[in-house]
Structure 1
């Protein structure tokens, strides 16, 4: 899902993995890349956190805490527990988990991918649909019911610039499930073809994962036009993780969608207090100030975004890819050199440099970068994709 170009950007974007066989992931974050140079101008008024969390700006009266949702995210219905009790009874927890996953591979049970369906574990099971978060939640709950140790795992998937929106930087806060034993760790991921074990990873607490769940649900309600439910879920996410800059940026996007400009501004500023270079907040503040004709502030935040983009190797990679697609191989190579000078460990940079050098007739340099790309791309699916591209290049010079 992409955020509409004419709206403020909200955070999650979900993967588009086509089948359940590859397992699972979770709420993704759409971020506009920005810089952090210089001091930001101080807000004209102090940030009023209780007011922002009350919802009074939109609903004219505070929302009572008792009305916040309390979804049974990992709860399993009796019928589902009965199903799991029949999975390799008497075997060890890990053997039972393997048997469960084998059943998925054999399509004994399937879940249809729906990007806008963040569901609880039981809802995912009974509706047989859901997005990455829904499937992750279901798998963690099932694995624990089988007695296996299982937790939410956040994977820092490298960002990719989208051609259609040259100022949009997509950073995937990708979450999958991990189960560890004395013999090693088993990763259960919705899109194993895209998963790469070299990416930085971090174990999430259940509270952190639940906050992402509530945030996803809140943005889904916002897309459906139910603003009260949207606010309740977004606020619940902030109850769980009040120090999350991502969640404050989401609240700002919610207020902006509802034309509550002061509340949106203060939410974005709170996100920046927690993370001074938060890209959603920077981009949306720039848009907000420009709409208000506060051009000094708008230009300040636009400059922050520009400086950060120009220093980011992934933006340089985007520029190189765009130049390559248009046949401007010299420009592509120049931008790739700048990207590789800043960061050398992304196989995509090397593979594109290999293609570019090949187009420019520098076969030795091309071979060197193809070798580096295959060395860094430990995922067999990525290596197979690269082989197919090279075979095509060989047959279509």
Structure 2
């Protein structure tokens, strides 16, 4: 029983910067971080006026949510049966109404009301409901491989979190074998069991703030971006994604020394390729080309076996109208993983640009067959319908 959604990390190729949206396998080390050493309140006038959602609001339940949970667990005393009934209810509701939007960084109540979610917002909503149902619910960081997508001029490096829901031990009851469920919201349909690491609620709250900051950063609202990154840093300074995004924010505002310090802090916490790549680009910008080349060469070697890296290269080639180069990279991605609808659609849209309508139709049909969301199936079918009219 799995409904799947994904979290995103963003990279901006136009300025060679990478933003990370949380919800990924951060694998943070036990490093003590003083966030005050990296903050620069004086640079972002007006950040104090941004209203940051407190924890109680992020995880709070509306009356409609409470009513929904009460109905799902009505007259069910057995905690294991309660878990199954609650999750079935959420899944049934999701299949009927829920739309996926990577930028749906919303509170639990907003997600329930809007019917739009990403991985983190859906997990937050489910956590709040399960906790209200007196269940033992825990967030987990999932160590998935790099997964790249591309949209609206941005390349996105996806990561992932999920939930484990268990019966809660009470004062007179202890469950030896709890028999809980792992609940996973992820559209990539991973069939492999990846390692997980339990993470606490404060880290999730910091992820929520970090994702909101990334949205504002992409929209070039820098005071709001700083306000949310600052809140994230104060909440969980050990989360490396915060310092990558803080570095990007400083870089975009010309604060190169502060940006470098933020990237180095991120690498100290988690030597992620995204943090290292940002640092390498900063080295290039400041004339330290040899140091940059060494970092980028290491990253390149690791990425050659990743189908989503080739997909990223294909999308960049497509944006530059290098059709043959794009097709070659899409095919390399498919040679490594034939299950992703995005790869087939990439070939379809490229062949369309080249005037090969037969290949366009063939790959659109293949993309549709591998879609996991009804909205994607409809999108591909609409394109097929238009193609028949040409």
Q: 2:298 matched to which residue of 1?
A: 307
- TM-score (ref. length: structure 2): 0.64
1:222 is the counterpart of 2:222: no
Superposed CA deviations along residues 56-99 of structure 1, whole A, max 9, x for unmatched, are: 2343x9x6699755242211122321222122312133323322
TM-score (norm 1): 0.63
Q: Which residue of 1 aligns with 2:352?
A: none
Q: State the 1:223 CA deviation.
A: 2.2
User: Deviation string for 1:276-308 (max 9, x for gaps)?
Assistant: x332232222222323xx32x232022122034
Q: What is the distance in 1 between the residues matched to 2:216 and 2:233?
A: 16
Partner of 2:373: none
Measured after TM superposition, the shift of residue 152 of structure 1 is 0.9
1:149 maps to 136
Which residue does the alignment assign to 2:68?
83
Quick check: 2:103–2:118 contact (8 Å CA) kept in 1? Answer: yes
Quick check: 1:27 aligned with 2:23?
A: yes
Give the Cα separation in 2 of the matches to 1:238 and 1:174.
20
Assess, with a 3 A threshold, how the Cα gap between structure 1 residues 64 and 118 changes in structure 2: closer, same or farther: closer
Secondary structure at 1:157's aligned position in 2? coil
Moved more, 264-273 or 155-164: 155-164
**Residue 163 to residue 10, structure 1, CA distance change in 2 (3 Å):** closer
CA contact (8 A) 1:69 1:232 kept: no
Q: Report if the CA contact (8 A) 1:286-1:299 is conserved.
A: no
1:204 aligned residue: 199
The 5 Å alignment of 1:221-300 reads 221-275=216-270, 277-291=271-285, 294-295=286-287, 297-300=288-291
Contact 1:80 1:122 survives alignment (8 Å): yes
1:338-357 counterparts in 2 under 5 A? none
1:19 maps to none
Within 2, Cα distance between the matches of 1:284 and 1:193? 26
Q: Does 1:96 align with 2:82?
A: yes
Deviation of residue 234 (structure 1)?
Answer: 0.8
For structure 1, which segment, 50-59 or 172-181, has the greater mean C-alpha deviation from structure 2 after superposition? 50-59
Rounded Cα–Cα distance in structure 2 between residues aligned with 1:244 and 1:124: 24
Contact 1:104-1:110 within 8 A present in 2 as well: no
Q: Alpha carbons of 1:174 and 1:320: their partners in 2 closer, same or farther (altered >3 Å)?
A: closer
Superposition deviation, residue 145 in structure 1: 1.3
TM-align CA RMSD: 3.9
Shift of 1:236: 1.2
Task: Give the direction of change, closer, same or farther, for the CA distance of 1:257–1:163 in structure 2 (3 Å limit).
Answer: closer
Q: Partners of 2:310 and 2:220 in 1: how far apart?
A: 39
Write the distance in 2 (CA, Å) between the matches of 1:48 and 1:143.
Answer: 34
Question: Does the 8 Å CA contact 1:152/1:206 hold for their aligned counterparts?
Answer: yes
Q: How many residues align?
A: 295
SS at match of 2:146: strand
3-state SS of 1:178 partner: strand
Q: After alignment, is 108-117 or 141-150 more displaced?
A: 108-117
Cα deviation, residue 214, structure 1: 1.0
Distance in 2 between the 1:223 and 1:163 partners?
14
- Partner of 2:305 in structure 1? 316
Whether 1:138 and 2:133 are equivalent positions in the alignment is: no
| Counterparts of 2:80 and 2:202, CA distance in 1 | 25
Counterparts of 2:262 and 2:59, CA distance in 1 = 30
Q: What SS is found at the alignment partner of 2:304? A: helix
Match of 1:384 in 2: none
Q: Does 1:117 align with 2:113?
A: no
SS in 1 for 2:136: coil
- Structure 1 pair 184/96, CA: closer, same or farther in 2 (3 Å)? closer
Shift of 1:160: 4.2
Q: Deviations over 1:353-372 (max 9, x none)?
A: xxxxxxxxxxxxxxxxxxxx
Unmatched segments (≥5 aa) in structure 1: 13-25, 31-46, 337-347, 352-380, 382-397
C-alpha displacement at 1:105, in angstroms? 4.2
Residue 190 (structure 2) pairs with residue 190 (structure 1): no
